[in-house]
Structure 1
Amino acid sequence: MEGDGNEIDAERYEEDESVTDILRDRFRLSTISIAETQAKKHGMQISEPIMACISELAFKYTAHLAKDLELFAQHANRKCVNTEDVILAAHRNEHVASTLRSFYDDLKAKEPQSERKRKKASKNKDKATTSAVHFPDL
């Protein structure tokens, strides 16, 4: 019976590897397309080895970012990644983090608020005590 479990694990591993390979190839094609477009826009040329290197680095960075986002969500006892996780992941680059924050704030401002959410927010404000300390988002 143990052999059956190992075969199933091996099949899952092979499926995961094939999915990863497909994603990597599609990501590379997209990265190369973006690089070529930007190079033409600025009157430049990029050699094939450089494009391959850029696409591989971008893929590895994205995989690392995805793992970080997963860990942030797990740390907050959530199963899904949210916007706050993405902003937190960008903390090493203040320009990117501030751009993400302003983009998120713009999205929140455009989002229609339901009456139910407003009522909850007002109840929470009523429960606040005078000794509470508010830390503004940085």
Structure 2
Amino acid sequence: AESEAGGSFALWPPARPVARRRGGKIRLGLPGRRLFLSSRACQDPLALKSHSAIMESAEGIRRLKAAVHYTVGHLCEEVASDKEMQFSKQTIAAISEVTFQQCENFARDLEMFARHAKRSTINTEDVKLLARRSNSLLKYITEKNEDIAQFNLERKAKKKKKLEDENKNSVEPAEAGVVESEN
């Protein structure tokens, strides 16, 4: 639409994702969300496809934000009852928004760590790298990782023993049948 000064203006937020070129990067924008892609990433059809899928799923993002807000609300209620204090709706909304943004940053960082290692899968080493600045969190993640590794080893050992027992039992009756036929 044309403004009175003769310039054009765009409605914000746009109804659909908008792509603008800015200094060698393409900026994809949705209401409250900006995503910058390098020109090189834009040449990769898979990168564009995944980013456009993210941008097109505004409903999914809205639902995820609602779930984070719901969880933060319940956590704030628990803290409020324990500490005998109250949180305003604005405070809960602010905590929810910061939490959601931090999760987005974590996801982006994890993706970059895996990509830097030339992997397409995020693993526990990436998560440890993300948590490296918080000693207590790093210690907790390391302990949980070791617990899971120990559990997996025990499960593998049980499975291996079970297979060996089954193989041993299936071999013994076959040998007994051979002995009977020789008599």
Assess same fold via TM > 0.5.
Answer: yes
Which sections of structure 1, spanning at least 5 residues, go unmatched? 1-8, 116-138
Q: Indicate the SS of the match to 1:73.
A: helix
Q: CA RMSD in A?
A: 2.3
Q: Following superposition of structure 1 onto structure 2, how do residues 1-138 of structure 1 map, counting pairs within 5 Å?
A: 12=53, 15-112=56-153, 114=156
* Percentage identity across paired residues of the two chains: 28
Match in the other structure for 2:46: none
Whose strand proportion is higher, 1 or 2?
A: 2
Greater mean deviation of Cα atoms: 106-115 or 91-100: 106-115
Please identify which structure carries the higher helix content: 1
* Structure of greater relative contact order (alpha carbons < 8 Å, 6+ residues apart): 1
Q: Between Structure 1 and Structure 2, whose CA radius of gyration is higher?
A: 2
Q: Which moved more, 1:23-32 or 1:52-61?
A: 23-32
Give the distance between the partners of 1:13 and 1:81, measured in 2 at CA: 18
State the number of aligned residues. 107
CA deviations on 1:81-119 (whole Å, 9 max, x unpaired) are 11111111011211111111112112212222647xxxx
TM-score (norm 1): 0.68
Deviation per CA, 1:51-105: give whole Å up to 9, x if none: 1111111110011001101111111111111111111101121111111111211
The CA distance in 1 between the partners of 2:127 and 2:53, in whole Å, is 29
